[in-house]
A and B are shown apart, each in its own frame.
Chain A
Amino acid sequence: MNISRPFLFLKSLESLKSKTSGVKNLKIQVNNLYKIFDGKGKKEIEMLKDGISKDEILEKTGATVGVNDASFEVKEGEIFVIMGLSGSGKSTLLRCLNRLIEPTSGSIRVDGKDIMELNKDQLREFRRKKFGMVFQNFALFPYRTVQENAEFGLEIQGMDKEERSKKAKKALKQVGLDGWEEQMPDQLSGGMQQRVGLARALAVDTDVLLMDEPFSALDPLIKKDMQDKLLDLYEHIDKTIIFITHDLDEALKLGDRIAIMKDGKIVQIGNHEEILTNAENDYVAEFVQDVNRSRVLTAEDIMDKPKAVLYNQDGLRTALHKMRNNELGSIFVLGENRKYRGIVKLEDVVEYINKDKEDIEEIIQDVPIAEPDEKVDQLFAKIADINTPLPVLDEENKLEGIIVKTSVLANLASENV
């Protein structure tokens, strides 16, 4: 239902990202990559090619298929998102790229060089120069300060102390952690810890950033914040990012292109539009549908508690006092049992007090009301023309919460990200 609307916003996001416009070079090229755990390898790959399923192979041979015939290309300077549910092989695929997990067969070219051919020493050198990595559970060293954590990759490269300290400081500054250098990781919140993880990867200044569900362990608000931070950073750094997530919202927000994985196989690769409108099979369709359903926010989700309300016995002066104290332009009036009665505006109260009138009843006004399960776009229609908050009432006419215009607009916007 919301499928069409997101693109307005996404388009603008894409134009934002198009600083690397023009012909993009291929950065990473993966061809027919397989990873078989606990098996002979060749035999299981043959079975996969014969169309035997992952479950059957596990049953027959005891081998687990991690990655099944993955092929994709990543262009220089793009954010490539690999998405799938847990167990879909996305983390395995990511670790195959820098051979933290040794692929069973296939080729991985980075800048045209096949990294499957590198020996141990060359591989280490390659990891130092080409890949920075950010981990789901941060993987910070608890016995190192924030600064020392950020320096880690440079230390491994054998850089001298002064230079690496400078570079680490710069990276910490980029992620907004200047001033926290001497803290220990466990003194930081989850979001800040992951910023240290990000700084550690930025400090080594590699071309490619591998990010393994970096924001999954964070709570939703922090997560959104970190996504914004990453996009912001992405504007200022020249990096190719491969980002793993199980969250399609996140994939759509961050990814230039998205690969969807299931049972070790890449089932579809495409940009937002292709993924959302041209689901290539039921699995993707279900994913996308799920996401769209969850995107529909209702009044209940976005309402706030009123800062203050008026009761029957309250007079004009109380109304003025409550509004002044809470910096409100209007205030809702409740009757017995918190039943909703209407709203009183500040200008009316002031006028009545100036005219020495007493009866507050005369200035109670009606405004449109909302039900808890009304959708955000309906709310928008209601709130567009009024300049007071919208009351949310339950079936007994009790005031459940209030909705202000800004939160409707904000949620309409974020819904499209």
Chain B
Amino acid sequence: MVIKINEIISLLTTRIPLGNWVEALVDFIINNFQGVLDGFSALIGFIVSSVETVLAFPNPFVLIAIFALIAWKLKGYKLAIFVVLGLGLVHNIEMWDPLVVTLASIITSVLVALILGIPIGILKAHNKYIDYITRPILDFMQTIPPFVYLIPALMFFGLGNVSGVIATVVFAIAPPIRLTYLGIKQVDEELKEAGHAFGANWWQILFKIELPGAMPSIMMGINQCIMLSLSMVVIAAMIGAGGLGQPVLRSLNMVDIGLGFEAGLGIVIIAMVLDRMFGRDS
């Protein structure tokens, strides 16, 4: 009896080697799935550099004009003026090149997050098991400090933009999933019933009733996704992602207040432009 109790106590007080397990898992993935990781890395890298090439190709002022035009089409002339002034200022303080790099990473991250996130949100809304499984994972991804997964990202994908994009996607994918799910859940049952009554199939219900009904919510998810991606710019710079995060980090190391402010202002401006362009109408 006595021995058994002692055994139980020693078992209960044994430290669970959680950290070791995670390390072992990361090692296992690196050792066995290097090929897959490399392929994924190459794909993401290709997207980022392609977007960057496209954005860097035209003269900066041409690009600003294009952005202003899009802003005008989407939200009106006031935003177009703001775009011209804001991006013009970024160009003036010589932050244009890092801005293009940042923009390319953001666009890639948001694209990946949406391409994965919206279908996951749709599945989550239709399948309660997927809902149960994704819920704790999403909580985990939303609350764990990004610094924690910078290192595994670094080990999987190496130093540079790709790791930055992956870390950003992990950080920013929760809102599109959650808000797509929420939007579909909020679609009136009677509307879906009407769809069924007229003989709509699963896809017709999805594309003609659920997604249009969920659109405001999904748009909010996209907006949140963009904003969260921007908030990762500096952190991603720590694992080698280029762009506006780099001068901010450098200014931190060199106590260069001026440089830090200029780069920070660049991030603020691009954030405001994107938020206004893809945000809710007030």
Contact = CB atoms under 8 A, between A and B. Distances in A.
Contacts of B208: 141, 152, 155-156
Contacts, number: 56
B199 A128 contact: yes
B215 interface: yes
B37 interface: no
A195 to B, nearest CB: 15
Nearest to B213: A143
Nearest to B195: A156
B197 interface: yes
A100 interface: yes
Contacts of A157: 199
A132 B199 CA distance: 10
Given A139-B188, A141-B209, A143-B215, A125 B196 contact: no
A76 B208 CA distance: 33
A204 B212 CA distance: 22
A200 B201 CA distance: 18
A167 B198 CA distance: 16
A144 to B, nearest CB: 8
Main secondary structure, interface of A, reads: mixed
B191 A141 contact: yes
Contacts of A200: 198
Interface in A120-140: 124-129, 131-133, 135, 137, 139
A141 B190 contact: no
A153 interface: yes
B191 to A, nearest CB: 6
Interface in A204-221: 204, 210
B194 interface: yes
A245 interface: no
Given A135-B190, A156-B204, A143 B197 contact: no
B198 A153 contact: yes
A129 B197 CA distance: 11
Interface in B194-241: 194-201, 204, 208-209, 212-213, 215
Contact of B199 (A135, A144, A156): A156
A204 B193 contact: no
B215 A204 contact: no
- Give the contact-size bracket for chain B: 10 to 19
A98 interface: yes
A210 B193 CA distance: 13
B191 A156 contact: no
Contacts of A129: 199
A212 B77 CA distance: 48
B157 to A, nearest CB: 40
A204 B198 contact: yes
Contacts of B199: 124-129, 153, 156-157
Nearest to B191: A139
B191 A133 contact: no
Nearest to A149: B194
A133 B197 contact: yes
B197 A131 contact: yes
Contacts of B209: 141
Contacts of B204: 156
A142 B194 CA distance: 13
Interface string B98-142: 000000000000000000000000000000000000000000000
Contacts of B215: 143
A397 to B, nearest CB: 54
Contacts of A143: 212-213, 215
A204 B195 CA distance: 13
B39 to A, nearest CB: 39
B213 A127 contact: no
Interface in A83-114: 98, 100
A200 B198 CA distance: 10
B197 A100 contact: yes
A133 B198 contact: yes
A141 to B, nearest CB: 6
B190 A137 contact: yes
Nearest to B198: A153
A352 B198 CA distance: 71
Interface string A260-304: 000000000000000000000000000000000000000000000
A143 B204 CA distance: 15
Nearest to B215: A143
A183 B32 CA distance: 60
Contacts of B195: 156
Of all A-B residue pairs in the complex, the 5 with the closest CB atoms, nearest first, are A128-B199, A127-B199, A133-B197, A139-B194, A153-B198
16 contacts: A100-B197, A124-B199, A124-B201, A126-B199, A127-B196, A128-B199, A129-B199, A133-B197, A133-B198, A139-B190, A139-B193, A141-B208, A141-B213, A143-B215, A155-B208, A204-B198
Interface of A: 98, 100, 124-129, 131-133, 135, 137, 139, 141-144, 152-153, 155-157, 200, 204, 210
Given A100-B193, A129-B199, A156-B199, 14 more contacts: A127-B198, A127-B199, A139-B190, A139-B191, A139-B193, A141-B208, A143-B212, A143-B215, A152-B194, A153-B199, A156-B195, A156-B208, A157-B199, A210-B197
